[in-house]
Chain A
């Protein structure tokens, strides 16, 4: 391809193009000048440039004039000649030269300081997107996020739990009594089904709010774009498509939009590959499961365990992507891209609140729809006896339809340390949505627990207790903030008594794993991290990639989750851990 040159004239109104271009412009201008209708309306040089650039409206106007036949012939010849000479469309040549002209003019008239002053964003980026520091900074920020979600907001989790299992349940029981249904299966459905199931999930609203708050701050400040840039660079270095990490960042919130976000990838193979990897990014629905189990089995290191799980998800996605890209999804397509990094800014309260509220509202909405329906269905499955002499809603949980079916699947998980029907059942229902693992667990242990006599309290007294405990939770949360950076300003307080749910789960995992409950719980969390996210994500995968890839995704994730959990449990036993 030839290159073109243009001289900067003294008057900006008369741009001089490259010689060859000027020759053709002049030739066409002369032809135009011969047509009185055109000459009277337009300056010939201007019209010649517009026609060479392909202005469709002007071309149509010229074509409508019988006298302009020579102009059209000249235009065709000039365009063909220039295309042949430069190997490029004429409009590109003209625009290119105009940009060169503007650039040289700007260089001539603008005075820049000898040393360019860097903006604050540039200075921050020198550190944040630095090749060596960028990944440790990304991991450090993730660590802070999980410290906040585990340690700082836990007093509010306990507060909501106390409100739901205490006063709220009491009020519902009292209301049921007023309508004369006390002690019936309907009361059990409300208390052991709906309240235990939906309430068990709503308890984690503060955790989700804190996660969404952190994500909103990272997004609004401009950091998330840098995280995507840094991880893209890493992915690209490993031979994966650079743009793969953008959907993965979305996947930290929810897998479903992340699967749709793979549309930004051009190549079909890259798109399917990314769609297969996205579910390994731990979505926010899985966080309550980690929080609950980490609080039971790793109370001192809950943040570290959860951080490790998120990291494991990223590492699994990157390594699996690397393997698949060099085997099944081999493609040579190299699609470089540029990314616009917005300047850093102080996040606005309004924007952060909006994001946090919308996402939390979405979570709560899901609790009242999907999780409530799942809880009701589950209650019925737990109320129907398949063994023993019990009757509907009056049977040993161990003899229920749910326990019987779950028990038949449980041996599959025995080598992983959690081959009991309770854990198996929650994993099966978790296919509906990951929060359902929590609601199922809460329901199982609520149905199983003996009724605890509580001290009668007045409505006003309970309201006062709710307000007092809220203040206590706020104080505890404020005290926990310095702990994020390891500063303990307050004396150690006695650990709160574990709840009956926590004790029951601890005993259950210990029993199914031969006394290695912590190891079995870790294997369970790894399984939850890696197996099929939820039925909506599966439907999204089917919609985007078709039936075949949906099944590959489901089966692949189940196999990988099983193998990874096996490695954790059996490997841990071999190493004498747990």
Chain B
């Protein structure tokens, strides 16, 4: 099962939707999320949904001075991608 998830990532030719992938693999979406989390912990997949921070915006910039971060960074969808060989941890 786990290997199948990785294979789907490796062979995907275009962005996939989490719901469609669960349907394709014939698993519950929650189970797929668990498997994805496992691969993220193992360093084979990565979650790119971390918010970006405008660290270098000065006080002249509207976004750098916002206490709750840049107001223009909206809620972007969570994306998960394969870790490329260059990014893979040495110890794996």
Contact = CB atoms under 8 A, between A and B. Distances in A.
A264 B52 contact: yes
Given A92-B2, A95-B38, A337 B76 contact: no
Interface string A562-578: 00000000000000000
Contact of B2 (A96, A236, A543): A96
Contacts of A219: 74-75
Contact of B74 (A129, A250, A339, A363): A250
Contact of B79 (A106, A338, A361): A338
Interface in A55-86: none
Given A95-B38, A99-B1, A264-B52, A337 B79 contact: yes
Interface string B21-65: 100001110010011101000100000100011111110111101
Interface of B: 1-3, 9-19, 21, 26-28, 31, 34-36, 38, 42, 48, 52-58, 60-63, 65-66, 68, 70-82, 84, 87
Contacts of B66: 358, 362
Contact of B77 (A88, A220, A341): A341
7 contacts: A250-B73, A260-B53, A335-B82, A336-B82, A338-B79, A536-B58, A540-B54
Contacts of A359: 71-72
Given A103-B31, A267-B84, A340 B62 contact: no
Nearest to A336: B12
Interface residue SS majority, chain B: loop
B15 A336 contact: yes
A306 interface: no
B57 A536 contact: yes
A260 B54 contact: yes
Contact of B54 (A92, A229, A256, A355): A256
Contact of A92 (B27, B42, B53, B57): B42
Nearest to B25: A103
A339 B56 contact: no
Interface of A: 1, 88-89, 92, 95-96, 99-100, 102-103, 106, 122, 125, 129, 215, 219-220, 224-225, 228-229, 232-233, 236-237, 242-243, 246, 249-250, 253-254, 256-257, 260-261, 263-264, 266-267, 333, 335-342, 355, 358-359, 361-363, 365-366, 369-370, 536, 539-540, 543
Contacts of A264: 48, 52, 79
Contact of B61 (A242, A256, A342): A256
Contacts of B63: 254, 256-257, 362
Question: What 4 pairs across the A-B complex have the smallest Cβ distances?
Answer: A253-B72, A337-B81, A336-B12, A225-B77
B78 A95 contact: no
Contacts of A256: 54, 57, 61, 63, 70, 72
